[in-house]
């Protein structure tokens, strides 16, 4: 039976309606009414999360693992309904949503397995040295402990894997932190059915009601109220640079500043080494076009910039990329607002005299088709705005006059989620000169691949220096993401009866 959203907020185990409403957009037909969030609803949710922390933060790792697994099971039980409401709200194809649902449940189960081992707690013990001269050493034990209630902002481009029960929520719950989710207005019904799955898991596992709450947006005050609430201990965010920076500044301006773990955007440049371009430039160009247009370019790891040394081999690369892009039909973007921002972004690029249009297309309403531009390395360096992300299927080829200029382009980069090298064995000397720069600029460095597609595993880093993210020491994907919501606590000469179980001798 199709899922019928009711548009309410989930607060401390109860579905609550607000007084004002907004209408959820759908690709076809009329959308449903959704209760707008407000500061009072946020306060109720956060107060419930704080109350739940005193129980949930001290549950066993086994019970939290069972809870995460139950959430995954409840999501899978609603699989067909999730796909139906998700496609109606976002325009994403069913296959994409089914794959994303699998990623979402996979993340939950990964964190369930991860916390079964004590390794993530970073347990340390320095035994007492009572006879040490000139001063004795006390008994010191250390471990990671949960920080408290966490605010999570749903992402527009991943209605499942980076939203209600996505990686931020999964890692926070695994750490022992209650979560308050601010739902994204682009897919409120999708968020609502996932929240119902989490509520069912709370009931099945006997967890405190306040361990998870879900508050719709619809008003700017909701996000501000959430990050400024004195009981929120950390924030997880995936979204635009402008929106993320505004929330980051609010977190920093609090009387008690808190960490804001924001993933804000990246152009994910590729550097094409000369031997690789000479040997297989057209193949790289065709594959790049496929990565650029995957998901209508609405991935934070979309490789929007290709830096190549000018010449005939570069011409062949550009020709192959343009031919592949020209054959790509327009696709539906996630929201009308995102489509409008895409059109505005490509118009700004096209307005630069130094930029040459390789492929120009027409976009209307929520539909988007690819664009391709090229610019000289010197003009790229002289116009910093060309390095700003445009969310969508637009590519920029930067033609460097030589390797020294390519290296200068790498040095001028802002922080990135990813940087990619396309190289052959004979390019090793050039690549070695670039590597120290690229690993300083990005959280993930690739060779001979494309960054779209972020594996959920222990070694993954999805983050990077600002503005790719607001905390270069963190990742929002992979098991290391749990460390964002933990802090080290040292116990000195503590009686065994007061130590956490994992530290007891």
Q: Give me the active site residues, please.
A: 263, 300
CA distances from 218 to 33, 47, 186, 240, 248 (A): 11, 21, 10, 17, 20
Phi and psi at residue 266, in whole multiples of 5°? -170, 150
Cα separation values, 235 from 32, 144, 244, 441, 466, Å: 29, 18, 11, 24, 16
With b meaning 16 or more CB within 10 Å and e meaning fewer, what string describes 120-137? bbeeeeeeeeeeeeeeee
Alpha-carbon span 237 to 383, nearest angstrom: 29
Across 419-438, b (16+ Cβ under 10 Å) vs e yields bbbbbbeebeebbeebeebb
Nearest CA to 486 among 64, 56, 114, 146? Answer: 146
* Other residues' Cβ atoms within 10 Å of the Cβ of residue 381: 18
**Burial of 353 by CB count in 10 Å (0-12 exposed, 13-18 middle, 19+ buried)?**
exposed
């Amino acid at each position: 039976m199709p899922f019928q959203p009711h548009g309410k907020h989930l607060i401390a185990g109860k579905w609550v309606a607000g007084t004002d409403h907004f209408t959820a957009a759908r690709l076809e037909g009329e959308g449903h009414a959704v209760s707008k969030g407000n500061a009072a609803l946020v306060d109720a949710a956060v107060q419930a999360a704080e109350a739940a922390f005193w129980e949930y933060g001290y549950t066993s790792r086994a019970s939290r693992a069972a809870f995460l697994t139950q959430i995954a099971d409840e999501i899978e039980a609603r699989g067909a309904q999730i796909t139906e409401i998700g496609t109606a709200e976002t325009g994403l194809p069913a296959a994409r949503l089914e794959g994303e649902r699998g990623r979402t449940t996979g993340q939950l189960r990964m964190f369930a397995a991860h916390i079964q081992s004590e390794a993530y707690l970073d347990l340390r013990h320095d035994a007492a040295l009572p006879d040490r001269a000139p001063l004795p050493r006390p008994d010191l034990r250390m471990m990671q402990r949960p920080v408290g209630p966490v605010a999570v902002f749903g992402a527009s481009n991943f209605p499942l894997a980076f939203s209600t029960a996505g990686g931020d929520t999964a890692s926070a719950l695994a750490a022992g932190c209650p979560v308050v989710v601010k739902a994204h207005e682009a897919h409120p019904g999708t968020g609502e059915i996932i929240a119902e799955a989490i509520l069912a898991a709370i009931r099945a596992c006997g967890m405190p009601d306040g361990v998870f709450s879900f508050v719709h947006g619809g008003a700017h005050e909701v996000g501000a109220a959430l990050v400024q609430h004195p009981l929120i201990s950390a924030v997880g965010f995936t979204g635009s640079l402008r929106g993320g920076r505004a929330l980051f500044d609010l977190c920093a301006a609090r009387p008690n500043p808190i960490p804001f773990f924001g993933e804000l955007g990246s152009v994910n440049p590729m550097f094409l080494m000369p031997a690789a371009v000479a040997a297989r430039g057209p193949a790289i160009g065709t594959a790049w076009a496929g990565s650029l247009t995957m998901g209508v370019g609405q991935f934070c790891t979309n490789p929007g910039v290709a830096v190549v040394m000018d010449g005939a081999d570069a011409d062949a690369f550009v020709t192959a990329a343009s031919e592949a892009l020209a054959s790509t039909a327009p696709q539906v973007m996630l929201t009308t607002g995102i489509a409008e921002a895409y059109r505005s972004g490509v118009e700004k690029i096209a307005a630069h005299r130094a930029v040459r249009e390789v492929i120009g297309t027409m976009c209307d309403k929520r539909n988007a088709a690819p664009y391709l531009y090229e610019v000289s390395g010197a003009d790229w360096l002289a116009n910093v705005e060309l390095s700003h992300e445009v969310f969508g299927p637009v590519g920029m080829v930067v033609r460097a006059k030589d390797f020294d200029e390519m290296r200068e382009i790498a040095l001028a980069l802002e922080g990135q989620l990813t940087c990619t090298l396309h190289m052959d064995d004979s390019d090793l000397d050039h690549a070695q000169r670039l590597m120290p720069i690229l690993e300083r600029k990005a959280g993930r460095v690739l060779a001979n691949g494309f960054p779209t597609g972020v594996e959920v595993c222990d070694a993954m880093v999805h983050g990077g220096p600002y503005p790719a993210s607001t905390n270069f020491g963190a990742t929002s994907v992979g098991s290391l993401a749990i460390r964002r919501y933990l802090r080290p606590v040292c116990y000195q000469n503590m009686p065994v009866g007061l130590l956490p179980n994992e530290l007891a001798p």
